Amino acid sequence: MGGACNRPHFSIQSRNSRFRGDIFMSQNGVARAPDAQLLLATGCPHCPIVLEALSQLVKEGRIGGLQVTNVGVHPERAQALGVRSVPWMQIGPFVFEGLHTKAELQQWAERTGTAEGIAAYFEHLLAGGGLNKALDMIRGDGAHLRALLMLLENPDTDITVRIGIGAIMEAMQGTDTLKGIVDELGRLSQSGEARVRADACYYLSLAESEAARPFIEALVEDADKEVREIAGEAMENVDGQAARPSRTT
């Protein structure tokens, strides 16, 4: 690794990490600040800046605790996490590399434990070419798939992110995870935005579930031509998929 410093980059929590980045609840049910960890190296010009920023957030109570490891002293820690460059940091479930400001890190600390935070993280991943990382995150916890619906529902979501959402949905075709959000997709299929209805209709067909049929049938005579065409094709797909066995994630 050689202590190389990276430009900002978003990633996901390593499966090999033993560090707990969870949000813990206090006795009165209020979410406590997330813990964080930082991997740095002697001679890295960006590491002291990130260390100072995270330390300030700990002092302010925005981060509950900070675990710092010098990979020059403990290279096994970097190897266990698959880290190849520093500074590398994890705040709650969010993992980053490279130089980040205190304001950026504070924002991510505040987003931990929220569906909006997971959605924002997926948006960063998909906008930055992190499709495989987003897929790994969803395969690790299928509940995260619902966060994509927040991005899907927003008509202003960037086309690059929408393409990434489509690729994830196609990768999840026929799985129990996708079947589990049929009702949510059905709600989106009734959106006032034709683009949202069209996307939701297509993803409903990918679920390969009879539960999706009523939502798709309702779009066959949609006011929008593109939605009608997608619904027609989706109905053919649902009819042809009815006898196929389910797949699991």
Domain boundaries, the chain: 9-111, 115-241
Radius of gyration of the chain (CA): 21
Kind of pairing between the strands at 66-70 and 94-97: unpaired
DSSP 38-98: EEE-TT-SSHHHHHHHHHHHHHTTSSS-EEEEETTT-HHHHHHHT--SBSEEEETTEEEES
Between CA 186 and CA 214 the distance in angstroms is 9
Kindly state the tokens that stand for 162: 């929408």
Q: Which residues contact 223 (CB under 8 A, 6 or more apart)?
A: 194
Inform me whether the pLDDT recorded for 2 exceeds 60: no
- Other Cβ atoms less than 10 A from the Cβ of 59: the count is 10
- In sequence order, the 6+-apart residues with CB closer than 8 A to the CB of 13 are 21, 90, 93, 94, 95, 137
3 has pLDDT over 80: no
Task: Tell me the H-state helices in the chain.
Answer: 47-59, 75-81, 102-111, 115-127, 131-140, 145-153, 159-171, 176-179, 182-188, 194-206, 213-217, 225-241
Predicted local confidence at residue 28, as pLDDT: 47
Is the pLDDT assigned to residue 15 strictly greater than 90?
A: no
The CATH fold assigned to 115-241 is Leucine-rich Repeat Variant (1.25.10)
The secondary structure of residue 192, as a DSSP letter, is S
202 pLDDT band, cuts 50/70/90, is: very high
Average pLDDT of 65-92? 95
2-6, 53-57, 65-69, 222-226: lowest mean pLDDT where? 2-6
93-134 per-position pLDDT tens digit: 898 889 999 999 999 999 998 889 999 999 999 998 889 989
Assess whether pLDDT exceeds 50 at residue 11: no
- Give the least confident one: 28-32, 48-52, 58-62: 28-32
Read off the pLDDT band of 249 (50, 70, 90).
Answer: low
Q: Computed from CA positions of residues 177, 182, 187, 189, in that sequence, does the dihedral angle turn out positive or negative?
A: positive
Share of the chain above pLDDT 70, in %: 84
Q: Which CATH superfamily does the domain covering 9-111 fall into?
A: Glutaredoxin (3.40.30.10)
| Residue scoring higher pLDDT (90 or 5) | 90
Supply the pLDDT for residue 14. Answer: 35
CA distance 100 to 56: 14
Residue 215 pLDDT greater than 90, yes or no:
yes
Q: Taking 60 as the threshold, does the pLDDT of residue 248 lie above it?
A: no
Taking residues 182-192, what's their average pLDDT?
97
As a whole number, the mean pLDDT across the chain is: 87
- Rounded distance between C-alpha atoms, residue 204 and residue 33, angstroms: 37
pLDDT at 22 over 50: no
Q: In this structure, how many other beta carbons lie within 10 angstroms of the beta carbon of residue 25?
A: 11
Which residues have C-beta within 8 Å of that of residue 217, sequence separation ≥ 6? 231, 235
